[in-house]
């Protein structure tokens, strides 16, 4: 299929190639009649700008590289949706690649982005958190923003306040009178899990309670994780009256497990999740959870990255977005129950 060129539009409109080119690129000092004639000819012919040719002139491709982890993660998917829509709104396209859980950023993904001359890179791969080699590999002249911790001072981090998420969830349960509060953590060792656990511990300490190891279980971020660890938590602490799950999906698994153990929620055990996924409002009972601004995080990260691209500056520092509790029917007062 032959592409319509600027020359074709110029011939159709009867205007010089130079003037037609300027108008089609958004410039040109011409009368409104001439401009309208050129744009009408372009529309009639189905003219589409040649971005490759334009990028050679502008020294920009208007493409942002997005390197991500597991697309199945619903929170990550929301972040990516926010990033993509913000990029599209500002006239940029995304080049997306993913890396395996044990994969390396430098093995394929990063070189592929560099070869295609992307204007900037958005990292959304938590498995890269402790990769010390990144600080030597990332091009400091290329703007890079990450949704997770990266061991490089040249990369700006944009992320929700995960410590605050752990704190407000636990504080909510403490204010309801609960003292034996279990926690189903995310994947052990990740920064997100450590931060949410730190918030949990801070809330307990403010109430003069110690973090008991038998109240902590690793459930990950899936329904199966919450389903699997709740029986063990209940066996270790029969006095358990509340549980905070680091992820909504794990909280859904906890609800199922409690039902199978004939423990009513919230009468026998209150449950709080984290994430505020769409499904949280439709569980039985509806799940109390911490709203994490996934979509806004992706959009804000992309806005920042595109500002860096426009200003020709590298990054650095950390931006944390606020979280807040959404109380639903899965939590109730321990004092009222007693």
Is 145 in a helix, a strand, or coil? strand
Q: Give the pLDDT confidence of 87-131 residue by residue, as tens digits.
A: 999 989 998 887 776 655 555 667 677 776 789 889 988 777 766
Above 70 in pLDDT, residue 334? Answer: yes
Q: Using one digit for the tens of pLDDT, what is the confidence trace for 243-279?
A: 999 999 999 999 999 999 999 999 999 999 999 999 9
- Lowest mean pLDDT across 280-289, 291-300, 314-323: 314-323
Say how far apart CA 222 and CA 186 lie, in whole Å. 9
What architecture is domain 6-49? Orthogonal Bundle (1.10)
**For position 56, what pLDDT does the model report?**
42
Choose the CATH number for 60-160+294-321 among 2.40.30.170, 3.20.20.60, 3.40.50.720, 3.40.50.2300: 3.40.50.2300
**What pLDDT digit, counting tens, does each position of 285-299 carry?**
999 999 999 999 999
**Would you state the pLDDT for residue 54?**
52
CATH topology of domain 162-292+325-337: Rossmann fold (3.40.50)
Please indicate whether the domains covering 60-160+294-321 and 162-292+325-337 agree at the CATH topology level.
yes
5 has a pLDDT exceeding 80: no
Q: Count the Cβ atoms, other than its own, within 10 Å of residue 91.
A: 8
Number of residues assigned to the chain = 338
Cα separation of the two ends of the chain: 76
What CA–CA distance (Å, rounded) separates 203 from 211? 10
> pLDDT digits over 21-65, tens only?
777 776 667 888 888 888 888 888 777 765 555 544 445 578 999
pLDDT of the residue at 96:
86
- Among the listed ranges 131-140, 247-256, 305-314, which one has the minimum average pLDDT value? 131-140
Could you count the other beta carbons within 10 Å of the beta carbon of residue 179?
14
| Average pLDDT of the chain to the nearest whole number | 86
pLDDT class of 189 with cuts at 50, 70, 90: confident
Q: How far apart are CA 201 and CA 216, in angstroms?
A: 11
Mean pLDDT of 185-200: 94
Q: Where are the domains of the chain?
A: 6-49, 60-160+294-321, 162-292+325-337
Percent of the chain with pLDDT over 70: 85
Which of 74, 72, 137 is CA-nearest to residue 110? 137
| 3-class DSSP state of 259 | helix
Q: Kindly report the CA angle at 188 between 182 and 193, in degrees rounded to 5?
A: 70
Mean pLDDT value across residues 145-163 = 87
Please report where in the chains the tokens 């070869």 appear, as a residue.
115
Residue 338: per-residue pLDDT: 44
Q: Phi/psi of residue 315, each to 5°?
A: -110, -150
Query: What element of type H or E holds 162?
Result: helix 162-175
Question: What integer pLDDT is reported at residue 57 of this predicted model?
Answer: 46
pTM over 0.75: yes
């Amino acid at each position: 299929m032959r592409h319509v060129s600027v020359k074709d539009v110029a011939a159709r409109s009867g205007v010089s190639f130079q003037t037609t080119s300027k108008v089609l690129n958004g410039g040109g000092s011409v009368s409104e009649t001439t401009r309208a004639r050129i744009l009408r000819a372009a529309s009639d012919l189905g003219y589409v700008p040649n971005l490759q040719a334009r990028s050679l002139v502008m020294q920009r491709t208007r493409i942002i590289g997005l390197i991500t982890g597991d697309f199945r993660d619903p929170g990550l998917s929301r972040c990516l949706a926010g990033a993509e829509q913000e990029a599209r709104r500002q006239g940029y396209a995304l080049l997306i690649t993913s890396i395996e859980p044990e994969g390396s950023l430098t093995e394929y993904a990063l070189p592929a982005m560099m070869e295609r001359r992307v204007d900037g890179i958005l990292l959304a791969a938590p498995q890269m958190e402790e990769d010390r080699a990144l600080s030597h590999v990332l091009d400091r002249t290329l703007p890079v923003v990450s949704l997770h911790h990266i061991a490089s001072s040249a990369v700006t981090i944009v992320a929700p306040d995960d410590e605050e998420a752990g704190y407000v969830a636990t504080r909510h349960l403490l204010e309801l009178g609960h003292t034996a509060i279990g926690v189903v953590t995310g994947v052990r060792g990740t920064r997100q899990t450590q931060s949410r656990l730190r918030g949990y511990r801070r809330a307990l300490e403010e109430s003069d309670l110690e973090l008991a190891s038998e109240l902590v279980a690793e459930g990950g971020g899936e329904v199966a994780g919450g389903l699997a660890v709740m029986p063990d938590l209940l066996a270790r602490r029969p006095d358990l009256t509340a549980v905070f799950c680091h992820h909504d999906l794990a909280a859904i698994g906890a609800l199922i497990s409690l039902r199978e153990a004939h423990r009513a929620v919230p009468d026998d055990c209150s449950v709080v999740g984290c994430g505020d996924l769409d499904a949280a409002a439709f569980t039985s009972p509806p799940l109390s959870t911490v709203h994490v601004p996934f979509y806004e995080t992706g959009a804000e990260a992309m806005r920042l990255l595109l500002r860096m691209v426009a200003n020709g500056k590298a990054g650095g520092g950390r931006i944390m977005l606020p979280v807040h509790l959404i109380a639903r029917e899965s939590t109730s007062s321990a004092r009222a129950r007693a």
